[in-house]
Structure 1
């Protein structure tokens, strides 16, 4: 994400205000694609894995949407 100029604050803004646009279960963990805008209004899409057993969200990747 660093090479794309996407910070943790950008990811947090998208996860707080964005919408889930796709849910997949490729092999093991269910992944969610969340699309939204960062604090500067830049459209981003974030792919995350959310764990049911704990309050943990793991960011897999992110890009400008």
Structure 2
């Protein structure tokens, strides 16, 4: 997800996206542990997407 899409999404949508992204990240990690991924950069991009969503949720809680 792009930062602009994250800012426009509601809290409920962000929570859903966060849980989905975490599951996807864990699946990628498991697959990578069994046999190397074709594109290991997917792990980094997924981890960063999770961080972006968590940052936006925290920012909204503080306000």
**TM-score, normalised by the number of residues in structure 2:** 0.30
- Larger Rg belongs to: 2
Greater relative contact order, per chain length (Cα 8 Å cut-off, separation 6+):
2
More helix, by proportion: 2
More strand, by proportion: 1
**TM-score, normalised by the number of residues in structure 1:** 0.29
